[in-house]
């Protein structure tokens, strides 16, 4: 199911209960990269996700960042933690650095492990044309990582780009200038394996969403 949060608290609660059904195993939060509202929505639901058995968060972040994330999760001195996260995310995700820091801190507070499921940054080509031909490999890579997490944690929440959270068998990504590529999205891949997959779509900004919920 692909759930759109749009009509206020009762609608949200009814669909969240459906999402938390015992058969659900993967929960997607599909974001527009650089827009913090989806990440904030995941933070908003983090306690509920934990209660529903979602014991790990998978991020569409480069695998080479995992050692820094692990170091942060093990840190006891909060005064140094934010600096570590800032130095970790800023070189790669400048547009969404603060929302990623907030999510990391919320995950640490709730003792929910974070995992970077994307390919290492060093694997990515430099030109748009080369990236377009390279991108389809990423969903296969991320699928393997999510399957590993499911084996260990049972249920996984996934924060990734909306294209990867799509249930379409083929999702077109347009880079502009006539450059496009087609991927088999991560959510579709998992669903085809018979894994119960859910996606939430938040068409409003987080401020508007909170106003409707509260």
How many whole angstroms separate alpha carbon 169 and alpha carbon 139?
12
Structure confidence at residue 79 (pLDDT): 74
Q: Which domain range does residue 86 map to?
A: 2-213
Mean pLDDT across 151-159: 95
Instruction: Report the alpha-carbon angle 98-146-156, nearest 5.
Output: 65
Q: Which of 71-75, 76-80, 99-103, 152-156 has the lowest mean pLDDT?
A: 76-80
Reported as a single tens digit per residue, the pLDDT across 101-131 is 999 999 999 999 999 999 999 999 988 888 8
CA neighbours closer than 13 Å in the CB half-sphere of residue 200: 29
Number of domains in the chain: 1
Contact 56, 153 (CB under 8 A): yes
Reported as a single tens digit per residue, the pLDDT across 157-193 is 999 988 898 888 898 888 888 888 899 999 999 999 9
Q: Decide if pLDDT at 201 tops 70.
A: no
Contact 72, 84 (CB under 8 A): yes
**By CB neighbour count within 10 A (0-12 exposed, 13-18 middle, 19+ buried), where does 31 fall?**
buried
Q: Decide if pLDDT at 203 tops 80.
A: no
Q: What is the CATH number of the domain that holds 173?
A: 3.40.50
């Amino acid at each position: 199911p692909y759930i759109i949060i749009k009509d206020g608290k009762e609608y949200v609660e009814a669909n969240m209960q459906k999402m938390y059904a015992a058969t659900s195993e993967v929960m997607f939060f599909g974001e527009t990269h650089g827009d913090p509202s989806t990440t904030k929505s995941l933070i908003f639901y983090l306690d509920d996700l934990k209660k529903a058995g979602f014991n790990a968060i998978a991020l569409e972040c480069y695998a080479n960042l995992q050692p820094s994330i692990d170091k942060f999760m093990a840190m006891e001195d909060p005064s140094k933690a934010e600096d570590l996260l800032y130095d970790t995310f800023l070189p790669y995700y400048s547009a969404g650095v603060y929302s990623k820091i907030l999510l990391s801190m919320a995950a640490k507070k709730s003792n929910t492990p974070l995992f970077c499921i994307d390919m290492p940054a060093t694997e990515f080509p430099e030109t748009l044309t080369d990236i377009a031909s390279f991108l389809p490999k990423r969903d296969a890579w991320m699928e393997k990582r999510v399957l590993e997490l499911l084996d260990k944690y049972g249920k996984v929440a996934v924060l990734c780009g909306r294209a990867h959270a799509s249930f379409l068998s083929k999702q077109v990504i347009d880079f502009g200038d006539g450059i496009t590529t087609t991927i088999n999205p991560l959510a579709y891949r998992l669903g085809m394996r018979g894994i119960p997959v859910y996606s939430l779509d938040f068409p409003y900004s987080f401020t508007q969403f909170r106003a409707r919920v509260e």
